[in-house]
Every structure is written in C-alpha cells, then in structure tokens.
Amino acid sequence: MGQVLHGIAGDFLRALIKAVPYEVHTVLTDHGIHFTTPSNTASAAR
C-alpha cells in the first residue's frame, strides 16, 4: 500500500510542477522537520 501512495503522491507532484507557472524549489509536508521540531527556529509549530 505504501508504494501505491508514493506513486500517487509522485504523480500529483509531477502534475503540479507542469501546471504552475513558476519553478517549484521545495515542497514541505506536515511530516517535515520544519513542522515537527518545536525547537527549530524556523518551525511553523511554534
């Protein structure tokens, strides 16, 4: 099941990159360190 979800996520990101009129540099997820590490100064979870 995990590989299927990874494939769906990859397909979505590839379609998104083709659809938007600008270059996508970084994709942050809710599981990324920027969101889950409260001590991180760049954390959105502050």
Q: What is the pLDDT along the chain (46 residues), one digit of tens a residue?
A: 667 777 888 899 999 999 999 999 988 777 656 656 666 555 554 4
Say how far apart CA 36 and CA 24 lie, in whole Å.
22
Contact 43, 37 (CB under 8 A): yes
User: Residue 11 carries which side chain, given as an amino acid letter?
Assistant: D
Phi, psi of 33 (to 5 degrees): -60, -30
Per residue in 13-26, is it b (16+ CB within 10 Å) or e — as a string? eeeeeeeeeeeeee
Predicted TM-score (pTM) above 0.75: no
